[in-house]
A and B are shown apart, each in its own frame.
Chain A
Amino acid sequence: DGGITQSPKYLFRKEGQNVTLSCEQNLNHDAMYWYRQDPGQGLRLIYYSQIVNDFQKGDIAEGYSVSREKKESFPLTVTSAQKNPTAFYLCASSIGGWVTTYEQYFGPGTRLTVT
Chain B
Amino acid sequence: SQQGEEDPQALSIQEGENATMNCSYKTSINNLQWYRQNSGRGLVHLILIRSNEREKHSGRLRVTLDTSKKSSSLLITASRAADTASYFCATNTEEETSGSRLTFGEGTQLTVNP
Contacts and interface: CB of A to CB of B under 8 A. Distances in A.
Contacts of A97: 99-100
Interface size bracket, A side: 20 to 34
A66 interface: no
Interface string B86-111: 00101010000001111111110000
Most buried by A among B30, B33, B43: B43
Given A103-B33, A103-B48, A98 B42 contact: no
A109 B42 contact: yes
A31 B100 contact: yes
Nearest to A33: B101
Contact of B103 (A45, A50, A88): A45
Nearest to B97: A56
Interface residues of B, number: 25
Contacts of A31: 100
A41 B90 CA distance: 13
Contacts of B33: 103-104
Main secondary structure of the interface of B (DSSP, over half): strand
Nearest to B105: A42
B31 interface: yes
B43 to A, nearest CB: 4
Contact of B100 (A100, A105, A106, A111): A100
B18 interface: no
Interface of A: 4, 31, 33, 35, 41-45, 48, 50, 56, 58, 88, 90, 92, 94, 96-109, 111
Given A45-B103, A101-B102, 16 more contacts: A4-B42, A35-B104, A42-B104, A42-B106, A43-B88, A45-B101, A50-B100, A92-B42, A96-B100, A101-B30, A101-B101, A103-B45, A104-B43, A107-B42, A108-B41, A109-B40
